[in-house]
Amino acid sequence: MPVIDTPLPTATEACADNLTFLEAVSIPDGVVVHPDEHLDKRWLVQNSGSCNWDDRYRLRSITGTNLNAPHELALYPARSGAKVILRVQLTAPTDPGSYQNTWQAYDPQGVPFGDPLNIQIVVNSGQP
């Protein structure tokens, strides 16, 4: 009886996650805003890893003032190499001062990856 060599399955190489910040599309750092003003922050980023982002990927607020935003959002689905705009709806605090909030991408296992995304605002006193 002939012996048939059956090749063993080989492990597929795992993909790698990465996010590269390209530019702030809205609300430049240090912009002066009014108390309780609604803010629409957008960042242009690139999926610079080899994994495709799906609905299991998240964007989380990790440091700074929350600015009345959800703690976690779905990361915009994007194929490897794609450029996308990530968007977070925020509200400026009522008290005057400088505020910062930093966001980070997370993979489906909860591991952070890529460049952090920041918003820095100055709330004016509301006085003319």
Neighbour tally for 29: CB within 10 Å: 11
Tell me, what's the pLDDT at 84? Answer: 97
Neighbour tally for 97: CB within 10 Å: 11
The tokens of 88 are what?
């977070």
Tell me, what's the pLDDT at 87? Answer: 96
- Using alpha carbons, list the distances in angstroms from residue 116 to 88, 95, 107: 14, 26, 14
Tell me, what's the pLDDT at 125? Answer: 83
Contact 59, 77 (CB under 8 A): no
| Secondary-structure class of domain 19-120 per CATH | mainly beta
Sequential pLDDT tens for the chain (128 residues): 566 666 665 555 699 999 999 999 999 999 999 999 999 999 999 999 999 999 999 999 999 998 999 999 999 899 999 999 999 999 999 999 999 999 999 999 999 999 999 999 999 986 65
Tell me, what's the pLDDT at 2? Answer: 60
